[in-house]
Structure 1
Amino acid sequence: MKPLLDIIHNELTDDWSEKNQQAFQSLFGANGGRYPDKAKKSVALRAPGFNKGSTGVPFSAYIHPSNPDSGAYGGMSFVLFPVEDAPCLVALVVGTQGLSPDEEVLSRPGHGRKVAAICRWLNRSVGQGQMVAWAKQEPVRTDLDVPDGIRRMFPAYRSVFDRYGKVIYGFYAPTTERQETERALKAFLDLFFSERGQYPLKAAEAEAERIRGDYFAHLMPDASEEEVRQLLAERRFVILQGPPGTGKTRMALRLKDAAYGGSGLTVQFHANTTYEQFVGGLAPLESDGAIGLQFAPRKGFLMEAAEAAQATFANGGKPYLLHIDEINRADLAKVLGEAIYLLEAQAETPRRVSLPYDFGAPFGRELSLPENLHILGTMNSADRSIAIVDVAVRRRFAFVKLWPQYRVVESQSGPLMKKAFIDLLSIFVEYASDDALALVPGHSYFLEADDRRAAQKLRTNLAPLLEEYLAQGYVAGFEEAIRSYLQWVESL
């Protein structure tokens, strides 16, 4: 990578074309290269010469070999844009001639998804609070320019954006740290060549996997118990959402036991959960008399939790957790009723609502939520039958996504489960729409060290879930890939 790094970080010179030819050749072959010699056939170099006084925008592009030797080109390309007084911009670009011959790669959701993950990783690891990378939501949208806000962040590359802003779909603006530039280069180039079916040589495999693992962590980021605890302390009302099997309920119960010292209440919502059950309402009284059926006010789960939290607050102020499992199984706006007004973590003054009945001490006919009452809901993103759609409800909760985590599978499972997890995750990452990606089965489906029991679990636990996805049409855009995966499971 040294010749490429020298080009990126050194001053622009008249021998631009020759230097890029040398850097290109150095990428291939076992004698110091990163990719096999055969990978050279999958790409062609376009690095036209230029004069320093030229008004054009110089570049060096790795393009599909089917393109002509000169003139406009099409398809996916890796491009360096040299500028005055700054390192070269490292970018992924759609040729100005259009998507062909890489329309299949560029239109696949996984390609844009991985470019975005690389950019998020670079912003976190290199930028540390400042943007150094940017990715377009959809690479194929060549009608969309680099946004004005992004342009203002990178004024050194204004000429590049003016000329090629609509076809750039991911870029990294190098800092002065050459080591960070090298990591970014390897991430972009490894992705670029893998989309051509070419992969790093054996000597670079381990490093390539580390880099891939680093940016994949930003494709499906993990949320720790400590992060959720801190969010509850700040926002009070939080919802954990994610695919089945990602440990949402397990995390909520662990938080209740560990962070709250067991001080809390767990309830589960379902389609028939009512306002009377959650907040409070009239309920029949047991009576041995002959008067007949009588009704009296009965506190719901929310009032019970508020009362317990109030008592806890009086005895030292420790927080109290109301855990609502499967919170999206009920129509939360109806279940909350007027109590939705109380779900304001940073209200300027204490909020109270009037109740239709007298519920006795400590509330009577007026309900308020003590400051030490926290609410944590869990929400299965694969359940499309009932979902939280009310904007007023969404505004009052902080939403945290829990994704499947390979590190959990890696530490607790055997070879078969690891392969099953990676293969299925790759299918969803590559082909699923954003909505369908939220359905990828979680890591709990893949936790088994013994391969014989693993095969049985895949057939009895995972396969029925995937078959239900197929029956409901949730994976219609890539159902053949899912069916092929199921055939493999059945063969175990």
Structure 2
Amino acid sequence: MISEFKNYIRNCAEKFGAKADSYILRDNTEISFNTKTPGAYLGLVEFEEGNSGVYHDFSFVVFPSDEEMHSLIVTLGIGSQGFKNDYSLASYPGLRRLFKKVTNENGYCKTDFSDIESSLPKKFLDLIESDYLKKSIIKYKDVLPACQIVNEPFGEEGKKIIEAFIAAYAKLRDWPSNKDHRKAVSEALEPFLETETIDDTEEVKNLLNERKYIVLQGPPGTGKTRTAKNVAEKIGAKTFFTQFHAETSFSDFIFGIRPDTANEELRYKENLGSFSEALKYAVEHNKEKVILIIDEINRANLSNVLGPIFYLFEHKMDVSNVEIEIAPNFKVKKLPENFSVISTMNTADRSLAVVDFALRRRFAWYTMKPKIIKSRNFFNEDFIKIQEIFNWYASSTELNLQPGQGYFIAESEDEMKNRIRYEIFPLIKEYLQEGLLSNAKEEFNNYFSTRINLSLFE
């Protein structure tokens, strides 16, 4: 059975692009099982590590429960000698993201793949039914950043998991060298990488019914403003729109006075801000739904802009004995039920201050992410290439910088090249100049050099 399984692993590796000098298939199972010593394993190890002895760096390792392989654990392992060449690879966030997706409730991923000191958690070890297998895993417990229990390794689901782990390892080792190899890797990983298709408009509409005050946050080009407008249209609301900027003030948003330029003499007239206009309309038309859309809410000094109305943004405020003056002869104790606010916030705008925690409590926060859209004008390959670079190299914070799907819509190939040249290329160059995504600079440079014949470093 073990001999058959070794051939299966070898065939998978070759299908994913491994060549004879890409790896060594180690097997210590015969010795371990004969001596009843825990630690029997089969492993795809870097070629330079040799056929025996201790080794370094990442490997694909299978720990069987017995010679018949009734159950096993597939892992991304690290040689007991630690890191020699793979330490920088271990720091790439995409490596953990990839293996996290190919593990399920019977698996475990470390939060830091460069960590070779922390042990596997008891919760995972308790899932292992075979005593021998548990002892084998404990023997290497510090150097197994990703593990997955497979109770029926020769069943359809078991083979899917095993092949996905080998495909992920092939991706790590950059084995695929042609279209067939890349297709095989993609097909093996696809069942684990599929993400649920979410209708943002519908999700936000439902959330609005529950919370009333929402902030749509996400990178540029993810359709935040468009979604806000679509929600308002879908529920048939009267829409008011404003966009914040650094100079937006209380008098712009709530109430102030302005010079009356139509008169020859200097006179001032009252000015209702966009919030007050929307609120007054909602009070006077209490049977009609009203939505105020605030674009780029985090661009203004919110404490100065909101003033005392900050108090009113409580979505479950039933009774209030505090009356807030919005404008002369216009006071409210609470915001009317037919009045809602949808705001947008660009998470890639690094020059802006962190939003006040008190404001965060008063609003619901809905994150919009870059996604593939079905349109003949959507340049899917460019989107996927940029997304792959971000997924592999970007930290959790840097993921907020990924250009959204709006950047990849064009009427023609020439228009798309211009969008890359004059929009995406300058954006990525700015990120790199600010010290962001530094690990990805060569990948980005290769993409731009190939796609539009421009280098980031000229």
Q: Secondary structure at the match of 2:108?
A: strand
Q: 1:343-422 residue pairs with structure 2 within 5 A?
A: 343-346=313-316, 349-351=318-320, 353-355=322-324, 359-361=328-330, 364=331, 366-408=332-374, 411-413=375-377, 417-422=379-384
CA-to-partner distance for each residue in 1:56-109, whole Å, 9 max, x for gaps? 344333222333544443211223334599832332222222122433432333
Q: C-alpha root-mean-square deviation of aligned residues, in Å?
A: 3.7
* Contact kept in structure 2, 1:342 and 1:353, CA below 8 Å: no
In structure 2, the residue matched to 1:224 is 200
**Deviation (angstroms), 1:54:** 4.2
Q: 1:207-356 residue pairs with structure 2 within 5 A?
A: 208-218=185-195, 224-258=200-234, 260-278=235-253, 280-284=254-258, 286=260, 293-294=267-268, 299-312=272-285, 314-315=286-287, 319-346=289-316, 349-351=318-320, 353-355=322-324
CA-to-partner distance for each residue in 1:8-53, whole Å, 9 max, x for gaps? xxxxxxxxxxx334312234459x9744572674242234333499
1:183 maps to which of 140, 160, 163: 160
In structure 2, the residue matched to 1:451 is 413
TM-score scaled by length of structure 2: 0.82
* Contact kept in structure 1, 2:17 and 2:170, CA below 8 Å: no
* Contact kept in structure 1, 2:260 and 2:269, CA below 8 Å: no
Q: Secondary structure at the match of 2:44?
A: strand
**Deviation (angstroms), 1:384:** 0.7
Change (3 A) 1:67 1:371: farther
* Contact kept in structure 2, 1:237 and 1:343, CA below 8 Å: yes
Q: Does the alignment pair 1:66 with 2:48? A: yes
**Deviation (angstroms), 1:162:** 4.2
**Deviation (angstroms), 1:407:** 4.3
1:428 maps to which of 390, 407, 410: 390
* Contact kept in structure 2, 1:144 and 1:166, CA below 8 Å: yes
Q: 1:88-127 residue pairs with structure 2 within 5 A?
A: 88-119=72-103, 123=104
Change (3 A) 1:80 1:274: same
Aligned counterparts of 1:451 and 1:233: Cα–Cα separation in 2: 42
Q: 1:117-156 residue pairs with structure 2 within 5 A?
A: 117-119=101-103, 123=104, 131-147=105-121, 150-151=123-124, 154=127, 156=129
CA-to-partner distance for each residue in 1:142-182, whole Å, 9 max, x for gaps? 2333445x438736486566444432222333466933333
Q: Does the alignment pair 1:25 with 2:2? A: no
Q: Secondary structure at the match of 1:91?
A: strand
User: Higher mean Cα deviation, 459-468 or 303-312?
Assistant: 303-312
* Contact kept in structure 2, 1:327 and 1:378, CA below 8 Å: yes
TM-score scaled by length of structure 1: 0.77
Q: Secondary structure at the match of 1:79?
A: strand
The amino acid across from 1:184 in the alignment is I
CA-to-partner distance for each residue in 1:274-326, whole Å, 9 max, x for gaps? 23333x23324749999964575x543334333434455x32xx643222111
Aligned counterparts of 1:183 and 1:325: Cα–Cα separation in 2: 45
Q: Secondary structure at the match of 2:112?
A: coil
Aligned counterparts of 1:57 and 1:189: Cα–Cα separation in 2: 20
The amino acid across from 1:391 in the alignment is F
* Contact kept in structure 2, 1:339 and 1:353, CA below 8 Å: no
Q: Does the alignment pair 1:42 with 2:23? A: yes
**Deviation (angstroms), 1:139:** 0.8
The amino acid across from 1:192 in the alignment is Y
Count of paired positions = 447
Unaligned runs of 5+ in 1: 1-18, 124-130
Q: Secondary structure at the match of 2:47?
A: coil
